[in-house]
């Protein structure tokens, strides 16, 4: 169902993250995600995992929600792991025909899958604790200096947030199509993996059609509300940095520096 998708949903839990300014969350999580791209040693991965676990606990997002959101990407994670295991050259620890399992491949596969999970969880924390309109407002404020270069930051911010919000909507449409197929006697989930992949191909056309229909309806709704290009629009709630935001920003900087420090000292 659509609630299996983490990115694009919002859950109200009255946590510290919910009280933070969206700009603080955008900048802080972006810095941490960039630093996670530099993870290399086992110690750095353990520290990064502890950091993400702590952030999830502070966000008060139920564990069952996190697990439901990870399940849809298990296939992608498995493919990523197998790709690195099979195609990474190094010390062979097992072989069969032309397939060779290397120690370096195992290490790279585990690290890449681990890193993807951490990045997905960080992105999910941002969207699960921030309302879409609030996120759009924060992104618009951050990009406001670019408006002097005549870049339509208002439209760009709205476009990004709508794209994120459409992820669970597309999943919902896919579930609806699969239920319609099942009602007609075609149960894709009961097929083997190769046949299941081929069975998804005819579903792409109706999925694209319904997605385009949703996009057109959203366009009409925006026009009916005279949104225009978004310039000069006023807001009832104004964004202001609080002491909590400054403390959270400082902690985010420290966390982002940890992988850099560990790499510099060779740990």
Residues 6+ apart with CB under 8 A from 91: 102, 103, 104
Number of domains comprising the chain: 1
Q: Please state, in angstroms and rounded to a whole number, the distance separating the CA atoms of residues 267 and 256.
A: 16
Average pLDDT of span 91-111: 79
pTM of structure: 0.75
Q: Where is 100: in which H helix or E strand?
A: strand 99-102
In the chain the first and final C-alpha atoms are separated, in Å, by: 43
pLDDT at 30 over 60: yes
pLDDT at 2 over 70: no
Closest CA to 48 of 103, 122, 106, 101: 122
pLDDT in tens, 195-218: 777 777 778 888 888 888 888 887
Burial of 133 (0-12, 13-18, 19+ CB in 10 A): middle
Structural domain including 161 reads 2-264
């Amino acid at each position: 169902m659509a609630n299996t998708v983490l990115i694009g949903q919002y859950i109200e839990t009255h946590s510290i993250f919910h009280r933070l300014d969206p700009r603080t969350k955008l900048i802080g999580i972006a810095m941490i995600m960039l630093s996670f791209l530099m993870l290399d040693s086992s110690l750095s991965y353990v520290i990064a995992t502890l950091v993400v676990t702590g952030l999830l606990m502070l966000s008060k997002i139920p564990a069952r929600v996190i697990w439901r959101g990870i399940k849809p990407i298990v296939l992608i994670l498995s493919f990523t792991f197998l790709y690195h295991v099979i195609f990474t050259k190094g010390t062979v620890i097992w072989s069969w025909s032309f397939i060779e399992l290397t120690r370096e491949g195992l290490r790279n596969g585990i690290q890449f899958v681990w890193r993807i999970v951490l990045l997905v969880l960080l992105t999910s924390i941002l969207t699960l604790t921030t309302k879409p309109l609030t996120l759009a407002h924060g992104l618009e404020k951050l990009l406001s200096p670019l408006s002097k270069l005549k870049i339509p930051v208002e439209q760009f911010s709205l476009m990004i947030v709508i794209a994120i919000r459409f992820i669970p909507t597309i999943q919902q449409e896919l579930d609806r199509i699969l239920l319609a197929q099942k009602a007609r006697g075609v149960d894709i989930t009961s097929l083997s993996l190769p046949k299941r992949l081929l069975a998804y191909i005819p579903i792409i056309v109706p999925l694209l059609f319904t997605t385009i229909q949703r996009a057109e309806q959203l366009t009409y709704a925006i026009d009916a509300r005279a949104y225009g290009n978004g310039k000069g629009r006023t807001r009832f709630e104004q964004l202001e940095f609080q002491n909590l935001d400054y403390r959270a920003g400082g902690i985010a900087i420290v966390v982002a520096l940890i992988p850099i420090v560990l790499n510099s000292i060779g740990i």
